Amino acid sequence: MEFISTRGGEKVSAEEAILRGIAEGGGLYVPERFPYVSPEEREEMLSMSYPERAAHILIKFFDVPKDELLSVLEEAYKKFEGEDPLPLVKFENGLFILEFFHGPTCSHADFGMAALSYLLKKSREKLKVKDKLLLVTATSGDDGKAVMETFRGEEGVLSAVFYPEDGVSKMQRLQLQTQEGDNLDSVAVRGSFDDCQSWVKKFLRSEESREKLKESGILLSTASSINVGKLLPMIVCWFSAYLDLVSSSEIQSGQSVDFSVPAGNFAGLLSAYYAKKMGLPIGTLVCASNRNNTLADFCSRGVFDRKKPFFRTMSPCLDVQSACNIERLLFELTGRDAALTVERMKALAGTGRFTLRPEEMKELSETFFGGYASEEDTVECVYEFFEEFNYPLDTHTGVAVHTARLYSRKREEDLAAEPRPMVVAATDSPYKFPQAVYYALTGNDVKDSFKGLKRIHLLSAMEIPEALKSLRYKPARFKTVVAPDKIAEEALNFAKN
């Protein structure tokens, strides 16, 4: 399959899209079409393991040997805790929690990385690229650690990660600062995640920087969801959750299911939307925001306004005002009109906002519901859920559960609406945010993250991931802090040293 840019002007192979990361002119690569997965094909996938389902879906987009891809994925998912990489936990009243946090870095980011490493390697082989690869990634905490863990020690790959200095939890910061690997760099940035992503995108778009790196035998790309090779593997998660509901007789095949997903950089929601376009019976996608509710507001009103006040919250991965993947959604809502997408992106860069046309808003509202949780809502949701089910939600999942309930109440008001199962994406382990979670559970503060781990464990008996426990004894290797406009300089210096 070939890939096109959201801003038009080019069509490239999957290998070119993956290696370049961002399209010329600053656009994002998307598949030229979405392959349809029929009900009969879903039936065949019911008995497959998660790696088998992943290989089955991904070869529809990427021309790689299926057996080889399956072997790589099976090895990758052996690093996850438990037999099932993506367990689906049933609660009452049609509510399910989809646990994304059993991977090596305890977050949803592990799922995209499992395939991206292989896809980058195969792309370099097919295009006969001998240059080293520099992956420059902005992160709100999760993607960066997953990138570093995945590419640690990989020959011919350098990885530089940039994160907001005060915009991650203490546990996330430890993950980013203590990561082993001589081919890695982790840099704190004085600013927000949006600052990090904006300057990283400028660097990725810079042909001057690409030429400088090329002179040193280095090819520039990214491992964030800007890269379609990181985004598309997330589609498998939603297919697998649906298939698990069918195989466990929770639903009949063909029945619609709703998903509530923490919004963040919009990668999870977009990949679920892509799954729906491929034929998965998804009813509504609930866009769950915290106080930084630009995305929720967009999904409910069709107005994207990144100039709204910014807040640091207890769900830091959602502290995003300019989600890059909204461009991909906009491209679909406009009927894949690249010129109109460019116009909207120019408006966003100039005035900080754009508004959908009525027909686009109609298309959006047929699939998406936007809602948000205040800090008080999040605390209350995490506390009440634990009181009822003895299950500790992380704060991001608390936001998603709260917003899912807002949507469920809205459906209850519509007497003609049929009840549908609701699957909430638990994107992170509660142990990645121990201080916020412990406060939500007890109303008490704990200053030491590792004491927080122990206290949550004593309350819940949920197993503490070894990957987080072991951080206590690892020295901080990365201590550099830069201004946002120094990201390019830092990345270039790292690559050349």
- Confidence band (pLDDT; 50, 70, 90) for 93? confident
Give pLDDT tens digits for 29-63: 999 999 999 999 999 999 999 999 999 999 999 99
Give pLDDT tens digits for 129-146: 999 999 999 999 999 999
Is residue 180 within 8 Å of 152, Cβ to Cβ?
Answer: yes
SS3 at position 297: helix
Instruction: Say which residues have a Cβ less than 8 Å from residue 459's Cβ, sequence separation at least 6.
Output: 386, 392, 441, 442
Q: Where are the domains of the chain?
A: 76-107+231-429, 130-224+467-497
pLDDT at 145: 97
**76-107+231-429 topology per CATH:** Rossmann fold (3.40.50)
Distance between CA atoms of 430 and 22, rounded to whole angstroms? 33
Rounded to 5 degrees, φ, ψ at 285 are -105, 115
| 415 band by pLDDT with thresholds 50, 70 and 90 | low
Q: How far apart are CA 394 and CA 167, in angstroms?
A: 16
**What is the pLDDT at residue 418?**
83
Q: What are the start-end ranges of the H helices in 152-206?
A: 170-178, 193-205
Average pLDDT, the chain: 96
For position 414, what pLDDT does the model report? 78
pTM more than 0.85: yes
| Token code pair at residue 245 | 């509901």
Q: Residue 403 has which token pair?
A: 């917003």
Q: Which of 103, 113, 111, 156 is CA-nearest to residue 132?
A: 156
Beta carbons within 8 Å of 470's beta carbon, 6+ residues apart: none
Q: Average pLDDT of 209-237?
A: 96
Identify which has the larger pLDDT, 48 or 413: 48
Between CA 350 and CA 365 the distance in angstroms is 26
376 within 8 A of 384, measured Cβ to Cβ: no
CA distances from 91 to 97, 146, 341 (A): 8, 29, 41
Q: Do 76-107+231-429 and 130-224+467-497 share a fold?
A: yes
Amino acid at 63: D
CATH match of 130-224+467-497 with 3.30.200.20:
no
Say which residues have a Cβ less than 8 Å from residue 433's Cβ, sequence separation at least 6.
Answer: 169, 171, 314, 315, 394, 395, 396
CA angle 110–111–116, rounded 5-degree value: 95
Q: Which long-range contacts (CB under 8 A, 24 or more apart) does 349-352 make?
A: 352/305, 352/306, 352/307
For 348-367, the pLDDT digits (tens) are 999 999 999 999 999 999 99
Task: Please state which of the ranges 80-94, 369-383, 408-422 shows the lowest mean pLDDT.
Answer: 408-422
Specify the pLDDT at position 497.
79
